[in-house]
Structure 1
Amino acid sequence: MSQHAGKSGDTSSGTSSTSSTSGGTGDGAEHAPNQKMALAAMLFAVSMTFIDQTIVAIAAPDIIHELGLSASGMQWVVNAYLLALAAFFALGGRLADIFGHRRVMVIGTLVFVLSSVLCGCVPNNDFAQSWLIIFRAVQGLGAALMFPAALAVVIAVFPVQRRGRALALFFGLSGALTAVGPLLGGWLTDWTWRAIFWVNVPVALIALVLTALAKIPNIARREPLDVPGAILVAGGMALSVLGFQQASAWGWSSATTWACIVGGLLILGLFGVYELQQAHPLIKLRVFQDRAFTVDMVVLFFAMLAFVPVFFFASVYAQVSLSASPNQAALYLLYFFIGFGIASQWGGRILDSRGARPAMKLGTALGAIGFALWAGKMTDLSMHDQWPYAALAGAGIGFLLAPASTDAVNRAIGASYGEVTGITQTVRNYAASIGLAVFGTVLTHVTTNRVVDTLESKGVPDGAAHSAAHTIAESITGNADSRTPTGSGPVATALRDSIGAIRMDFAEANRAVFYAMAGALAVAFVCSYLHPGTKVTGTNAVAAPGRTQVP
């Protein structure tokens, strides 16, 4: 991915030499690009990819209510985007190298915005769930084409001496927009949840107009495309996540569940063996020979099991168990982001002064403690009492995320900035997909068991209690809202009498999920001790001069 750019001292990527590369082409090369306008264009483009990681979580209960989706179906709506982004990110970077960064960025933006419009136009019928999942996956594909191409554009149009600041701004602002998703989602959902997808249209138009005005050259390198590698990594990720996601429906004792999980992991192993034998691999896995880089990736993997899924689970918990509105749920998530934003700045300073290991140790420890304390307060059903722990959990992620990502980039000598960023983004999004799938299974399982106990305590027979509990768990909202069950049968009567108890059942299920997130951060804490602890200096870092934090 972007093999021609990103190394310290790379003289082929300044503005005076963006017209061509060895063996490449450069249409529009007679004009020097407008650097500020190009950076603004790329920021508008990638902002959509970050916002869409979190914005859908706020609207989940409304989407489920209007379209009649199941819990697993809604989780697939969220996860399809993350999984496609992870599976095709490296492919997007390679296509950008082959066909030109500007061209692929424009194509990715168009794919993303058209699929966004189609997500918002989902029909209210039996095909709604499949429609949303399909076009959310297409959104992820568009993001996978757009993001690495946009990164390569920024690298190409800025000379080495200015690239560090440009990349810090690119990642800093675009990453910060993750926090905008819940707030924007809450505001738009008050109008219609469909607007959370349509809002991408004006943003995409601005990005495309600025791209045209910036006169960005279309740099391309004629290199072979690793099609078998792309198929293997996409297939392995999809199959393994399918197994984790469907475990709640198929059961952990099901041969199908384990066939998908083990089969997917074996395919990913085959992908690794295959890539090491290729002259032009999709992903340069040899960078994992550096122990520090490997530890950075492992820590990021376990941290990301919690980081993106927390938005979905916390949002739905707030709207179901706490009876919060979408706007109130967005403010609930804001506690997490306040801690995250403040700690991110401190994490960067620790990275500069002492290296990545202290920041990762502190972040993983605070994250594990924060998520555990947050989980313990969930059954109090008080939003006010939870904010310190939500902020502490966010601070933990904030301390570790940028230092681990930046340290990985700086240590990957022999690979470009774009290539290593491709690896980190693939690991992060794949981990988020697995986290959402596994924790979604935990949520459904615990909710079902708790609701069965509640209904049986009201005299509902075992079979009827299991059937009703499964229906409630699959509807996420657990009938704990204004949709009071109708009918005069014993099950309907028990449900009407148990709405408050079912809210508590759902809170207890989320408590189990957040304890599991704390466990993931605890594992990351142990792994952080394996980092050699040496500090990367500007003389051996792959990134451009200046602190470049990758959020």
Structure 2
Amino acid sequence: MSATTGFNSDAGSSSAGGRKGLVLAAMICAVAMTFIDQTIVSIAAPKIQSELHLSGTGVQWAITSYLLAMAAFFALGGRLSDTLGHTRMVVIGVVVFAGASALCGLTPNGSLAQAWIIVFRAVQGLGGALMYPAALAIVVNTFDLRSRGRALALFFGIAGGLTAVGPVLGGYLTEWTWRGIFWVNIPVALISLLLIAIARPQTKYRPAPIDWVGLALIAVGVALSVFGFQQSHIWGWHNPAIGLSIAAGAALLVVFFRYERGRTAPLIDVAIFSNRAFLVQCLILGISMAVFLPMFFFASEYAAVSLGQNTQKSGITLLYFFLGFMVTSQIGGRLLDKVGAKRPVFMGSVIAAVGFYLWASKVTALDMSQLTWPIVVSGAGMGMMVGPSNTDAVNRASSLSYGEATGITQTVRNYASSLSFAVLGTVMISIFQSKVADSLVQQGVPRAAANNAAAAGTSAFNSGGGSGSGSSAKIPLFIQQDFAHGVQYVFYIMSGLMALAALVALVGLKGGVQAAAESGAEPEQAPVADAAT
């Protein structure tokens, strides 16, 4: 059975290409909200924290809870899309996401604020987890293997480019009200639902029971392990709860893997990891996403604290990243169709590693003009490799399991992002605190007093509390410089991670274009047609 089974009725029709294009546009619009919200809150974090009086931990969880919920429930979203229908799950996901966005924008002032925004950010993540695997599965089902690279290059390139709307739009909306960054999702959701109704995407799905035990294992396992890393710089590594939380989460994920191997209808068919290309691409995606999303937070914090930029300027700064990203994502997609995944994934990872290294080497100069080209190069590298890596992984699945395969890859991507955000945050704060203490000692403050002052002072910058106004005049020069040193270490680590991704691609991937037969065999059970109603 072809990967485009649901579109056999369009074969030979002059309107087939137009219909496919409309389906692609509908899915891009649907997932645009999830891309925008991965970055828009980071830009507005200082003002949200200031106006709602959130703690440093609270504002970090307002960001992380979204990523964590997506990581925990992507497997469920992928499974539901393959068993209940891809179009149905896209619609449900859009409605849940938009509803949660509206409630985030209605966060009340007072004691309920912190719990409210964290909870509904998590609900947003749930909506994204239900929507995204189904949307990507529809695109993959619509285009055949030989044209899929270019189609998904447009999907990731345009959707990724729309992520640039997050920093830019977030900056302008925050000057009006930070609540607007959530309300902007509502018209996007309405447009996406209208396009879905017009496009009426059709795929095949296979009804099957949901593995709720497996869902509980993976959701709790992800949550516990990330929570441990998240709290490590708040409670300290000496606190036994940190190690216990991380160990318990890791143990549950191991139990989940073993449990799924014996299921007839697993939440995730772990047998797919026996496919070498799929396993390697998941590893590469995990490494690259440990860089991609945290980069926005640390770059925006650097712009606010070290450069003294307001939210508008810091948003425009990140637009340079997507200038490179959008151009090379199209190149990467065409290379995937012509020569296979290895070349664009390897080349993109190398370019990104160089870009992040140059970026790191320039941040302590506190001069934006020196950062422009390193930022563009970093974006170009990520744009070239992310789409081909993701597409090549999903291509390894059966056409009736694209949602499940997407759920797996997105679980890996978002889990890695959440984990990396927590770990890199710990690194950055530790370096920042050490540098501030050294600076105070140089100014004549006794070491003990300097250490105490640094520990107390740097907590204000923890996870978004750096500069609500974006005015460098209110921040001492040594603080700006010390913060830049903390960010520098983070970007050097990011460079190293992308170099590791390049090495994994070089050693683990085979050259050449994937053969159609590798997509996987179809199951014997008859599928059910899925169409918008």
Distance 2:37 2:465 in 1: 26
Change (3 A) 1:15 1:286: same
SS in structure 2 of the partner of residue 308 of structure 1:
helix
CA contact (8 A) 2:67 2:415 kept: yes
CA, structure 1 residues 519+9, in 2 after alignment: closer, same or farther (shift >3 Å)? closer
Give the alignment's TM-score, normalised by structure 2. 0.87
Task: Please give the alpha-carbon distance, in whole angstroms, between the structure 2 residues aligned to 1:481 and 1:279.
Answer: 53
Matched, 1:312 2:297: yes
Is 1:503 paired with 2:473?
no
Superposed, which structure 2 residues align to 1:205-216 within 5 Å?
Answer: 205-214=190-199
- After TM superposition, the structure 1 = structure 2 runs for residues 14-413 of structure 1, keeping only pairs within 5 Å, are 14-15=8-9, 39-154=24-139, 158=142, 164=148, 169-214=154-199, 221-412=206-397
**Other-structure match for 1:443:** 428
Question: Shift of residue 12 of structure 1?
Answer: 4.9
TM-superposed CA distance for 1:162, in Å, is 11
| Partner residue of 2:412 out of 422, 427, 434 | 427
CA–CA distance in structure 1, aligned partners of residues 217 and 239 of structure 2: 24
CA distances 1:378-426 after superposition (whole Å, capped 9, x unpaired) = 1100011111111222222122212222222233468733222222111
Q: Which residue of 2 aligns with 1:29?
A: none
Change (3 A) 1:338 1:41: closer
Report if the CA contact (8 A) 1:239-1:260 is conserved: yes
Letter in 2 for 1:327: Q
Q: What one-letter code is carried by the residue in structure 2 that aligns with 1:249?
A: I
Cα-to-partner distance string for 1:100-140 (whole Å, 9 max, x where unaligned) = 43433332222111111111122232332222211111100
Is this contact kept in 2: 1:311–1:333, CA < 8 A? yes
How far apart, CA to CA, are the structure 2 residues paired with 1:162 and 1:380? 47
CA 1:153/1:537 → structure 2, altered by over 3 Å: closer, same or farther? closer
Q: Is the contact made by 1:237 and 1:430 (CA closer than 8 Å) also made in structure 2?
A: yes
What amino acid maps onto 1:232 in structure 2? L
Asked whether 1:540 is paired with 2:532, we answer: no
- What is the deviation of 1:482? 6.2
| Offset, 1:230 | 0.8
Counterpart code for 1:48: M
The one-letter code matched in structure 1 to 2:2 is S
Point out where structure 2 has 5 or more consecutive residues left out of the alignment: 12-17, 521-533
Instruction: Give me the whole-angstrom Cα distance separating, in 2, the residues matched to 1:291 and 1:253.
Output: 39
- Residues 319-339 of structure 1 deviation map (CA, whole Å, 9 limit, x = unaligned): 111011212111211222222
Change in Cα spacing, 1:471 to 1:136, as seen in structure 2 (3 Å) is farther
Q: In the superposition, relative to structure 1, how do residues 12 and 428 fare at CA in structure 2: closer, same or farther (>3 Å)?
A: same
Q: Give me the identity figure in percent.
A: 49
What's the secondary structure of 1:190's corresponding residue?
helix
Partner of 1:25: none
> Partner residue of 1:518?
495
- Say which is worse superposed, 67-76 or 245-254, in terms of deviation: 67-76
Task: Give distance in 2, aligned partners of 1:329 and 1:206.
Answer: 28
- AA of the residue aligned to 1:542: S
* 8 Å Cα contact 2:93-2:129 kept in structure 1: yes
The SS at the match of 2:426 is: helix
Task: Compare 409-418 and 72-81 and name the one that shifted more.
Answer: 409-418
Distance 1:34 1:351, change over 3 A: closer
Q: Is the 8 A contact 1:357 1:528 kept in 2?
A: yes
Provide the C-alpha distance between the structure 2 equivalents of 1:81 and 1:236, rounded to a whole number of angstroms. Answer: 16
Question: Secondary structure of the residue that 1:108 maps to in structure 2?
Answer: helix
Render the CA deviation track for 1:188-226: whole Å, top value 9, x for unaligned: 122111111010111112223344455567976431111
Tell me which moved more, 391-400 or 310-319.
391-400
TM-score, scaled relative to structure 1: 0.84
2:2 to 8, 13, 17: 8
> 1: distance between equivalents of 2:84 and 2:275?
31
* Residues 479, 260 of structure 1: alpha-carbon distance in 2 compared, 3 angstrom cutoff: closer
Residue of structure 1 aligned with 2:439, choices 448, 454, 474: 454
Q: CA separation of 1:479/1:137 partners in 2, compared to 1, >3 Å: closer, same or farther?
A: closer
- Residues 392, 211 of structure 1: CA spacing in aligned structure 2 closer, same or farther, 3 A cutoff? closer
Deviation (angstroms), 1:479:
6.5
Tell me which residue corresponds to 1:4.
Answer: none
Q: CA RMSD in A?
A: 3.0
Query: 1:36-80, CA deviations, whole angstroms, 9 ceiling, x for partnerless residues?
Result: 655544332211111111111211222222223333332221111
Q: Is the 8 A contact 2:224 2:249 kept in 1?
A: yes
- Alpha-carbon separation, structure 1, partners of 2:517 and 2:51: 55
AA in 2 matched with 1:505: D
Q: Which secondary structure state, in structure 2, belongs to the residue aligned with residue 529 of structure 1?
A: helix
Report the AA paired with residue 517 of structure 2: N
Question: What is the rounded CA distance, in whole Å, between the counterparts of 1:96 and 1:271 in structure 2?
Answer: 21
Paired amino acid for 1:513: V
- The CA distance in 2 between the partners of 1:346 and 1:168, in whole Å, is 8
* Alignment partners' CA distance in 2, 1:386 and 1:232: 43
Q: Residue type matched to 1:369 in 2?
A: V
What is the alpha-carbon distance in structure 1 between the residues aligned to residue 295 and residue 381 of structure 2? 13
1:316 aligned partner, one-letter code: E
Structure 2 counterpart of 1:261, one-letter code? I
8 Å Cα contact 1:318-1:329 kept in structure 2: yes
2: CA distance, partners of 1:536 / 1:162: 9
Q: Which runs of 5+ in 1 are unaligned?
A: 1-6, 18-32, 485-494, 544-551
Q: Is the 8 A contact 1:323 1:481 kept in 2?
A: no
Deviation at 1:509, TM superposition (A): 0.8
